[in-house]
Chain A
Amino acid sequence: MAVTEKTQQTVDEAVGDYKYGFITDIATERAPKGLNEDIIKFISAKKNEPEWLLDWRLAAYTKWLKMEEPTWAMVDYPKIDFQDIYYYSAPKSAEDGPKSLDEVDPELLRTYEKLGISLKEQELLAGVAVDIVFDSVSVATTFRKKLKEAGIVFCSISEAAHDYPDLMKKYLGSVVPVADNFYSALNSAVFTDGTFVYIPKGVRCPMELSTYFRINEANTGQFERTIIIADEGSYVSYLEGCTAPQRDENQLHAAVVELVTHDDAEIKYSTVQNWYPGDKNGKGGIYNFVTKRGACRGKNSKISWTQVETGSAVTWKYPSCLLIGDNSVGEFYSVAITNNYQQADTGTKMVHIGENTSSTIISKGISAGKSSATYRGLVKVMAGAENARNYTQCDSLLIGDKCGAHTVPYLEIKNPTAKVEHEATTSKISDEQLFYCQQRGLDIEDSVTLIVNGFCKDVMQHLPMEFAVEAQKLLGISLEGSVG
């Protein structure tokens, strides 16, 4: 059967089901490869989406068709054939996974052990079919109840499309417009998973929100879409990702994250990204092309991004802040580690629009092996942004002599009252430092971990406690074999 025919058939089946009101399981696991309007209709039907959302997706697709893949980043990878990708696959059923930890890659298990992850969680992360009820499920249920009492919405993006259509219509694409860039347009057309958070006026979210709680509900989406809205005077801290490397067969990831803060609200968004970076020879690994942006719409509002990026073969990511409200604050704290043949082009954009807006950028890049790490950042002060302040600090640490670090700061200042500071350093882990640590009793890898953690301290201290300890260990693991 020809591919198009097959597609048509699959779509007919899915849409047919939808017509008759079947919401439950559609037998098909996967849409055929490639991208066209039918595939998008298929995805939308799978998600049982309202019509306005399907229209929105199709409009995004039309725009995407006319766009070019960006090539300005300092990353190098083979051209992606967008027709050779599966855009929808149902979460893996338990039978497909390994039956026990014995069947899981020992390298992966070794890493879990080093991170101090419990056996049960290891099974969860490795996708082992476990037929008992997880503790985390009941934990998640308890949490949800607590959140509901506070009036907080914390659900999947698909649920939000059904249950909170007004909020979705208002905020979807409001910070990252569909046609913002090639990957945001692609994501808008085909996103399949993600999280929706709404914190009502005056509510301080009583716990750190994390996708982690949902880990056994769905695999990490290939095209995730996350929206977080903090209404007036509210606060939320959101954790994304996991320190443990996750099993994932999708090579291309293109997520979009949109944050909105209203008057006096604050969002703290922390990410630990540890997707498969490829092997020692640079084979395989995830392409991570992410658009993350927050809009401080209200006065005195604040958005803070903290990221620890250790995984992926290629990273292209610039969590940004639009400082629209007067006195609003944007922060970006980043640690990016590249080893072997990894490439990262990451940084931020701080756009000062309101008066007395301020932003802080602290970026720590660590390159080892034959990798390349680039900081790319824009600080833009618009004409109306009286008394804007920015402080930027970009430090690079090199391990070995075959890696590269680059710093590309852009400054666009259109208001003479702006005060913008930029500091940058590049250093190497010295033999003297390593010997000093070793002489005190640390082996070479612990010595590197200690020195690197010291280098990253200014960023790591912004991570929530529960992440910080694991993230510290992760830095060491990511750099294993880079010295000696």
Chain B
Amino acid sequence: MLEIRNLHVNVGGQEILKGVNLTIKDGEVHAIMGPNGAGKSTLSYAICGKDGYEVTEGSVTYNGKDILALDPHERAGEGIFLGFQYPVEIPGVSNMNFLRTALNSQRRYRGEKEMAAVDFLKFVRACAKELDMDPEMLKRSVNVGFSGGEKKRNEMVQMAVLNPSFAVLDETDSGLDIDALKIVAEGINRLRASNKSILMITHYQRLLDYVVPDFVHVLAKGKIVKSGNKDLALLLEEKGYVGLGLEENAA
């Protein structure tokens, strides 16, 4: 269970999150929507511990543990995964090598045995196959020369291999065509099926057609201003943030 209490976060000296409260129980899928600049990405980076995202007040606990006291890689070891809005390129490092290093680092953190090379190879190929990724892509450098859709698919393969207990997906659906969107949705649903918790950050209700959330929250001006079920997303789609009185007309 992830519990966020009164979370205040500064970025570059400016307060972006101004007291966020959110509880995500095991097996629940939450969606956070909100206008540009509301602090959606800041929330995901703060949960995962990115440098420069300074928590000035409040707490984040995961399964009772204060994760704000942990380094980013330790949070990953605790089972927290971030699906990036813009997956990063790492030239010269093959996907395969990257994943094996990552998985074994997490296993070491949890005091588990590293996975043998042969077992890993089978496992990662199976994950790639289920998400319809060409096994050749595993040999290529991480995200280098990948299309937008391929990068997002790669995020889903990484998620499948690392098998986190809690996943934050930061606009994983942005910039995807409908086929790629379905793949991403399938990746999320696979994780969901094994009773994992998921926080989806999205601009559009489109993804929510494929992954139906248990709860939908609206983040605006650094706070959660409205919560509801999937109908809230539909309402937002219809009327917009301004129409619902959640945001002043930007113009």
Contacts and interface: CB of A to CB of B under 8 A. Distances in A.
Interface of A: 430-433, 435-444, 446-447, 450-451, 453-458
B93 A453 contact: yes
Given A435-B51, A450-B93, A442 B88 contact: no
Given A440-B98, A442-B101, A454-B141, A433 B73 contact: no
A446 B105 contact: yes
Contacts of A444: 71, 73
Contacts of B124: none
A457 B97 CA distance: 12
Q: Which 10 pairs from chain A and chain B are nearest by CB?
A: A454-B92, A454-B93, A457-B92, A440-B102, A441-B106, A438-B72, A436-B88, A441-B105, A441-B76, A438-B73
A438 B76 contact: yes
Contacts, number: 80
Nearest to B83: A439
Contacts of A442: 73, 101-102, 105
B60 to A, nearest CB: 15
A435 B50 contact: yes
A458 B92 contact: yes
25 contacts: A430-B88, A431-B51, A435-B51, A436-B87, A436-B90, A437-B98, A438-B71, A439-B72, A439-B76, A440-B76, A440-B105, A441-B76, A441-B102, A441-B103, A441-B105, A441-B106, A441-B162, A442-B73, A444-B71, A446-B101, A447-B73, A450-B97, A450-B101, A454-B90, A454-B92
Nearest to B88: A436
Given A446-B101, A458-B92, 17 more contacts: A431-B51, A432-B88, A433-B89, A436-B87, A436-B90, A438-B71, A438-B76, A439-B48, A439-B73, A439-B75, A439-B82, A440-B105, A440-B158, A442-B102, A442-B105, A443-B73, A450-B98
A contacts with B: majority SS: helix
Contact of A455 (B50, B91, B105): B91
A313 to B, nearest CB: 28
B109 interface: yes
Q: How large is the interface on B (under 10, 10 to 19, 20 to 34, 35 or more residues)?
A: 20 to 34
Interface string B190-210: 000000000000000000000
A447 B76 CA distance: 14
Contacts of A437: 90, 98, 102
A458 B92 CA distance: 8
A451 B89 CA distance: 10
Contacts of A431: 51-52
A69 to B, nearest CB: 38
Contacts of A458: 92
Nearest to A484: B51
B105 A443 contact: yes
B232 to A, nearest CB: 29
